[in-house]
Amino acid sequence: MSQMKFEIPKIELMKSGHVACPGCGASMAMRYALKALGQNTMIVIPACCWAIIDGPSPCSVNGVPVFHTAFETAAITATGIKAGLSRQGDNDTTVMAWAGDGGTFDIGLQALSGAAERNEDIIYVCYDNEAYMNTGIQRSSATPWGAWTTTTPTKTPKSRPKKNIIDILLAHHIPYVATASVAYPDDFIRKMKKAKSIRGMKFIQILSPCPPGWKSAPEQSVHISRLAVNSKVFPLYEVEDGYRYKISLNHKNIPVEEYLKHQGRFKHLSKEQIKQIQVDTDTKWEVLMKKVEMGELFSEN
């Protein structure tokens, strides 16, 4: 099949003037998300870096209505907004919850699970920078094994693996779940557009480099994101109806060390520990491949 050329939409809803750090993956992600969704969008933002990035009141960079809400309430506030609109005859506006990994994997998991179980007609995007960045880089359950944060200092780095949020969402039998990367905006935009076209609950996790939190160079954010994908630490895929897996692109076989070495948060790791991460990553990829196969099997039947 010939590769179709994908145009990034020209529309710029996100204006200049945001207050994110240079190289912030989360701010790139929002720009692309709004390009995909367009003007007919409302955003719900809980406590997280994005509560600040949007600008202090009365400023807002997003060019669409934004509702700031408490840390653990992104999914349910979006649900309420959607219900309020639809009861007033507006069934078209896309309501997007936009939360960090803390607001998604940890404190917001209950409300997210509730919304997913009820199959609310919202798009939930988790920009995953793998720690609580807004409060100064504390571990979350999205922080990977071995990583440094201020609450997992190098002497006792994170001792448990990153929570698999995609599997948790899939357990809710929702119509659409996907991972995304700021290094592949075409893929992310396609996924957002697809999410917009589907009724019911959509969940997208986008890996979002954070230079201060990852101790990486701002200009490396896109490069590091590409390495995360191609080392298979953060594979790109989507799952429809809970079981139809689709890998989004050809992942190259780059060693995880290539990904880790650009980030100070992994600097303390020994050769053995890096090897362990490689083994874990390979295993997880194998498991993912099996899921893809199983999904194909079910689709055929």
Ligand X SMILES: Cc1ncc(C[n+]2csc(CCOP(=O)(O)OP(=O)(O)O)c2C)c(N)n1
**Is 109 among the residues that bind other proteins (CB under 8 A)?**
no
Round to whole Å and give the CA distance between 161 and 174.
Answer: 25
Separation of alpha carbons 10 and 36, rounded Å:
10
Cβ atoms 255, 281 nearer than 8 A: no
CB of 137 to other proteins, least distance (A): 20
Cα–Cα dist 244/48, whole Å: 32
Verify binding: residue 147, ligand SF4, rule CB under 6 A: no
- The residue ranges that bind ligand X (CB under 6 A) are 47-49, 71, 99-103, 129, 132-135, 140
* Residue 60, C-beta contacts closer than 8 angstroms, at least 6 positions apart: 54, 66
Among the listed residues 46, 100, 108, 157, the single contact to Mg ion using CB under 5 A: 100
Helix (H, G, I), strand (E, B) or coil at 142: coil
Stretch that binds ligand SF4, among 157-165, 211-219, 222-230, 264-272 (CB under 6 A): 211-219
Q: Which does 251 bind (CB under 5 to 8 A by kind): ligand SF4, other proteins, Mg ion, none?
A: none
Alpha carbon distance 197, 297 (integer Å):
26
The answer to whether 231 and 259 are in contact (CB under 8 A) is yes
| Partner whose binding site includes residue 101, from ligand SF4, Mg ion, other proteins, none (CB under 5 to 8 Å by kind) | Mg ion
Tokens in use for 102? 């803390």
Least gap, CB of 52 to ligand X (angstroms): 8
Among 11, 17, 22, 40, binds other proteins (CB under 8 A): 40
Q: Which is nearer to Mg ion, 94 or 205 (CB)?
A: 205
State how far the Cα of 274 lies from the Cα of 122, in Å rounded to an integer. Answer: 38
Site string for Mg ion, 117-156 (x = CB under 5 A): ------------x---x-----------------------
- Determine which residue in the list 55, 200, 212, 255 makes contact with ligand SF4, applying CB under 6 A: 212
Residue 231: DSSP 8-state: T
Least distance between ligand SF4 and beta carbon 60 (Å): 16
What the block records as the tokens of 172 is 């809710």
| Interface contacts to ligand SF4, rule CB under 6 A | 20-21, 24, 26, 49, 53, 129, 133, 210-213
